[in-house]
Structure 1
Amino acid sequence: MTRAPNEDAIWVALVDDYDVVVKGVATMLDPYRDRVLVAELDTDRPVKDDVDIALYDSFAQPESDQEQIKVLLANPRARKVVVYTWNFHPELVEAARALGTHGYLSKALPARDLVAALEAVHAGEIVFSDPPSRMRTPTSQDWPGRQEGLTDREAEILALITQGKNNADICEVTYLAPNTVKSYVRNLYRKIEVDSRTQAVVWGVRHGFLPDHHRIDHWRGGP
């Protein structure tokens, strides 16, 4: 991919192990392509283009965030690295800050505010969103299971279940309380019409809830 004629626009690479999530964010940003140009990474090709910002979406992989962020920060192809997440637990926020990320942005931000935040990062600011009082993902985004009625948080819980996590594991990596996790699990079981964890895993595998870890590999090893 070559630089577009609009040299004033910010080039943003969307980094996530789930293609549907990447496409959802790209769709949300598309009306602002005069200000932000999305470079979707092809997992079959190496990274060849410099980008202004690598926007790391932490969908269903909070336990690996720090490693993945380090990979992005170490690659000179990405001038800035921003985390895009629903999880504002203080330990995660401070860890991202300590690693040297240039932003920690909430998925509750409307598209116009997300674009403005990316522009501020590009201009040299360090932008950390305030923890939202109530998480609400912009409706133009997408995630696995959305068509089946799963909320974005329920989808992330199901993705962790599909990866073999038990409730205690999910509590540890998401910083959610045990009763909160149980509530999410009950709700998503009802929506996908399963009665057991084994059935949920089978459903998840069949419906795209296994991550493609090749995406982050494109950022390993420098240019």
Structure 2
Amino acid sequence: MTPTRVLLADDHEMVRAGFRIILGSQPGIEIVGEAATGAEALARAAELKPDVICMDVQMPDMDGLEATRRIVADESVTSAVLILTTFDRDDYLFEALGAGASGFLLKNSTPEQLIDAVRVVASGDALLAPAVTRRVIERFGAPVEKSTAPVTPPAALETLTDREAEVLQLVAQGLSNAEIATQLFVGEATVKSHVSKVLQKLGLRDRIQAVVWAYENRVAVPGG
């Protein structure tokens, strides 16, 4: 099995050392490089083409959010970016999602959560923990509750089958593939296929974008 290649970007050497020990000891994960600044992370990403970049937010020269934005915009780099920060701040969270990050994790998470997060984003999925989902819903769902104006469904929604639209609503509620499979009485592989088709038809990158899209377009209504 080809190992998941990881780049560590953090301006604190001790933090990088800790991540290196945690991740490097896992089968199937290889640390291929490190960066101490945002600009260095950008250069190393282009040079090494890692599968996953563990990206700190506050770094010299260029912060991790701007580095993420540029990495995601570079078509020659297909790395998934996992934001890791000490600061549990909504502005960081939403700017990270807007920049194209595939995951957002606090540094006080357990080693097991870090390992799982790297594997999740490396698989092409997005790390969308329930707590993060709730904050996305609070941000994008609030206007829906207050509005009584008739809503015209976006044209892209008409390209989805009834089952795909149902899966989109469950994704927007923060359910995992396994939870959706249980609710719909289908296999997890079937759900994964539906999610992939939803993302493809709507032109979305990952589950995080699907949640934001659903609430921005009033496809999912909190409590509905």
Larger radius of gyration: 2
TM-score (norm 1): 0.47
Structure richer in helix, relative to its length: 2
Higher relative contact order (CA 8 A, sep 6+): 1
